[in-house]
Structure 1
Amino acid sequence: MYKLTTNTLIWLQTLLNERYGHLFHLYYLNSSTLVLCLPNSEQSIIFDNLQSIFYCSQSDFACQQWRPSAENFTAPIDDLISAPSATKLMNPLIEFNKKGATIHYDILGLTYWMLNRLEEIESHDLDNHQRFPATTSHAFRHGYLERPVIDEWLIILAQVIQRVWPQLVLKQHTFSIKVSHDVDRPSYAFTPWLSIGRIMVNELIKDYKIRTLVTTPYLKLTTRKQLHSTDPYNTFDWLMDVSEANNLQSAFYFICGRTDARRDANYEPEYTVIRQLMRRIHNRGHEIGLHPSYGTYQHPVLIKSEAERLKKICTEENIAQPFWGGRMHYLRWGHPTTLQAWNDAGMDYDSTLGYADSPGFRCGTCFEYPAFNPITQQQLAVRIRPLIVMEGTIIESAYLGLGVGDKALNRILKLKDICYRVHGCFSLLWHNSSLVSNELKEMYQCCLKN
């Protein structure tokens, strides 16, 4: 059990104040009741059905549906909102009175449970990369993974707040896009000779690309101080061009360690060509971040060491940034060990929390939020920037396998539209090495258009 403590309430208060732009106060009335109030106001909002299930690391409980319009509320996406609950929903769910309002559903408990990923703690139902998969989650099992259920409920709570305190003007959020690129393979030239030989043979057999017999060894031999313009993985300037055309900033996350010979990158961040690439990214106003190597996710010391290595290189190259973030390699994540490691490494944000096997809202939100360690009951300095879509999840046969085309694009655009409807942030990961055809480039550009 990860019970409601004073620190839990402070974190929830911080979250609500950040979301709504006002200084609310939360206090614990008794074991089943929370009160949300404003200073110098006699009105309050009471949550009188707190559920212990939201303070446990498990997923085996029911989920119901609530219809906002039946109680004169406006739903942001669809007129049914998922309501995970161990008890039957009351009718009406929300009641108003002279003293304010009473909500008979534990919105704040759900928020705590989803955002702090309690169901993942000590889970043993993991995939072959030791990741908590989407298929294990409560959201997937009950059909709301592609809905930002926390944002939906907080929008309903905002409507309650405005009825209780009509004089308040709540913070208005604007839809945004965050695009990032894990630099697993910055250049074809870093591919080992043996692997290059296999690639050349495969391309000759499948596509009869005779020119690969010349171009592939040429790239390998000539990439020393800078990436070659014909390198199929060298899409960095193109990516920055597309971001700039859409008033966006790209973030490029570099691997800075070797903990798995097969799965980690075939480059060192100190290479002249990588330093030159980092300088070019920085000079164009884009972001450089960390992509900790495969074996680090349960080893805080290694994450800290790789973060320090990246920052050292950037200092040597006169690259200064106001904040530092990144994402774990292969989206490997052990909660809350990995989160605490990012915090202790002095990082400002992490953008790992999306699923590899299915797109959607792993944390139930598309808003960045302050991190909290439910085991130590401490709010952390690092922030969580949820990942909504990774291109490989949609395209690759190992996951959804939708390939390149309208079916895959429409799946991505649907999630983007959902983020738009709740005025949140659409966070998209697209690897620089996954743009090897004009069809892929057109698909990527379509994802960013207004």
Structure 2
Amino acid sequence: MAKKIQDDGELWELFTKKEEYDPILLDKYGRFPYYLSSQRNVFEPHVSKFLIRNGLNPEYPEGRKFAVCLTHDIDFVCPGMLNTAARTVKALKRGQFAQASILPFSRINKTWSPLWNFRQIMKLEESYGAKSTFYFLTLDPGNEDFTFSIEELEGELGHISDDGWEVGLHGGHEAYNNPMEIRSKKQKLEKVLRKEVMGYRNHYLRFKTPKTWEFLADAGFSYDSTFGYHDCAGFRNGMCHPFTPYNLNTEKEIDILEIPLSIMDTTLFNQMHLDFSQAWKLTEKLIDTVESHRGVLTILWHNTYMQGEYLGFYKKILQYCAQKNAWMVSGAEIYRWWKEKY
């Protein structure tokens, strides 16, 4: 794949994200945002388009035209105190007295929490013939953003994995730039899960090109799915297909598969400030674009967004993709299929 792109200098710089190697500025989380990129038409997968014109013709199981990689980052399993109080009042106003009576105690018994919703998510996806990946934080007390111990979720992790969904690692704030942290947290999750962890996504989509890929490959990950802009949906390096990253410093491919991220809930509603109508118009366009390129569209929908209108939006995504006969699966399934075929 890389050899085909190298002859086109402009596309090669886009594919490798040369502009991210020595950036003058980064945002407060050390990320390279879309607003600093020279790439303006992020809604078109220019590199994938070139590859399709030059012979790439992906196939998917049962003759499906494209794939959708469904993912969920698990940052919280219990709402904070103010959030719990607000939810309780809202439930009372709606006459949901049983839920209102349980919510105040959800911080004591996390299984009563509305964010302990992994099985509900799985049931919803199963109704559309879909499966997904759950990326879990494995932080220690004292780490930034620590809200739960992964050991508390051992039973849930087993249920998720045994039913055919995937459990992946959600690396903490500093992991993207710390190879020892990546390796130790992978081992911690594998100890609780009792099986190998294949997939990774970093918290806050923090990522350093190309170092993070190298660290993940060295730690033994099969694939990453962090690579997308936090502040804009679309195709960060012009790809709507999985790809093997290339390191311009070593002039070698990196031994890991990237399944690039294109749509995230917080990007649509918090960063791009779209209303539901605008967000759906863009989401529909990206789905249609990936379908026309026989690509893979990766979607991140947090468990905290599986309520109200946001849940309805996720259902709309599943319904639309199911109508198009998309192959809706986990990152691990995408990895296995892609490595076997390409």
Give the TM-score normalised by the residue count of structure 2.
0.83
What secondary structure, in the 3-state scheme, does the structure 2 residue paired with 1:388 have?
strand
From 131, 139, 149, the equivalent of 2:31 is 131
The equivalent of 2:137 in structure 1 is 255
* 2:51 is the alignment partner of 1:151: no
The equivalent of 2:272 in structure 1 is 400
Equivalents in 2 of 1:390, 1:417: separation in Å? 17
Q: Cα 1:286–1:206, aligned 2, differ >3 Å: closer, same or farther? A: closer
The equivalent of 1:221 in structure 2 is 108
What secondary structure, in the 3-state scheme, does the structure 2 residue paired with 1:181 have?
strand
The equivalent of 1:378 in structure 2 is 252
The equivalent of 2:182 in structure 1 is 303
Contact 1:260-1:294 within 8 A present in 2 as well? no
From 429, 432, 442, the equivalent of 2:300 is 429
The equivalent of 1:185 in structure 2 is 76
Equivalents in 1 of 2:171, 2:254: separation in Å? 20
The equivalent of 1:312 in structure 2 is 191
Q: CA deviation at 1:186?
A: 2.2
Q: Cα 1:110–1:326, aligned 2, differ >3 Å: closer, same or farther? A: same
The equivalent of 1:418 in structure 2 is 289
AA aligned opposite 2:126: E
Equivalents in 2 of 1:146, 1:307: separation in Å? 33
What secondary structure, in the 3-state scheme, does the structure 2 residue paired with 1:291 have?
strand
Contact 1:235-1:433 within 8 A present in 2 as well? no
Cα-to-partner distance string for 1:391-446 (whole Å, 9 max, x where unaligned): 111112xx11224x322222211111111111101110000111121x22221011
What secondary structure, in the 3-state scheme, does the structure 2 residue paired with 1:130 have?
coil
Q: Which runs of 5+ in 2 are unaligned?
A: 60-64, 324-342
Contact 1:120-1:335 within 8 A present in 2 as well? yes
The equivalent of 2:329 in structure 1 is none
Q: Which runs of 5+ in 1 are unaligned?
A: 1-10, 17-46, 51-105, 159-169
Contact 1:183-1:255 within 8 A present in 2 as well? yes
Equivalents in 1 of 2:307, 2:133: separation in Å? 19
Which structure shows the bigger proportion of residues in helix conformation? 2
What secondary structure, in the 3-state scheme, does the structure 2 residue paired with 1:221 have?
coil
The equivalent of 1:337 in structure 2 is 211
Contact 2:58-2:295 within 8 A present in 1 as well? no
Q: CA deviation at 1:217?
A: 2.6
What secondary structure, in the 3-state scheme, does the structure 1 residue paired with 2:124 have?
helix
Number of aligned positions between the proteins: 312
The equivalent of 2:117 in structure 1 is 235
* 2:265 is the alignment partner of 1:391: yes
Equivalents in 2 of 1:201, 1:420: separation in Å? 43
Equivalents in 2 of 1:379, 1:260: separation in Å? 37
Q: Cα 1:218–1:353, aligned 2, differ >3 Å: closer, same or farther? A: same
What secondary structure, in the 3-state scheme, does the structure 2 residue paired with 1:358 have?
coil
Equivalents in 1 of 2:252, 2:174: separation in Å? 26
Q: CA deviation at 1:232?
A: 1.8
The equivalent of 2:331 in structure 1 is none
* 2:312 is the alignment partner of 1:442: yes
What secondary structure, in the 3-state scheme, does the structure 2 residue paired with 1:246 have?
coil
The equivalent of 1:347 in structure 2 is 221
Q: CA deviation at 1:298?
A: 1.3
Equivalents in 2 of 1:205, 1:265: separation in Å? 27
What secondary structure, in the 3-state scheme, does the structure 1 residue paired with 2:266 have?
helix
Q: CA deviation at 1:260?
A: 7.1
Q: Identify which of structures 1 and 2 has the higher relative contact order when contacts are C-alpha pairs closer than 8 Å and 6+ apart.
A: 2
Cα-to-partner distance string for 1:41-77 (whole Å, 9 max, x where unaligned): xxxxxx9xx8xxxxxxxxxxxxxxxxxxxxxxxxxxx
AA aligned opposite 2:286: L
AA aligned opposite 1:267: F
AA aligned opposite 1:308: Q
Q: CA deviation at 1:215?
A: 3.1
Cα-to-partner distance string for 1:317-375 (whole Å, 9 max, x where unaligned): xxx46x60121100001111211111111000000011111000002111001122221
AA aligned opposite 2:278: K
Equivalents in 2 of 1:200, 1:308: separation in Å? 33
* 2:258 is the alignment partner of 1:268: no
Q: CA deviation at 1:135?
A: 0.7
Q: CA deviation at 1:202?
A: 5.0
Q: Cα 1:184–1:172, aligned 2, differ >3 Å: closer, same or farther? A: closer
Q: CA deviation at 1:292?
A: 0.5
Equivalents in 2 of 1:124, 1:300: separation in Å? 24
Q: CA deviation at 1:112?
A: 3.1
Q: CA deviation at 1:152?
A: 1.4
Cα RMSD over matched residues? 2.5
1:8-157 counterparts in 2 under 5 A?
Answer: 12-13=2-3, 106-107=7-8, 109-140=9-40, 144-157=41-54
AA aligned opposite 1:199: N
- Please say which structure displays the higher CA radius of gyration: 1
Equivalents in 2 of 1:395, 1:384: separation in Å? 25
AA aligned opposite 1:243: E
Equivalents in 2 of 1:358, 1:238: separation in Å? 28
Contact 1:291-1:329 within 8 A present in 2 as well? yes
What secondary structure, in the 3-state scheme, does the structure 1 residue paired with 2:24 have?
coil
Cα-to-partner distance string for 1:105-141 (whole Å, 9 max, x where unaligned): x43x34432232211012132112111001111213x
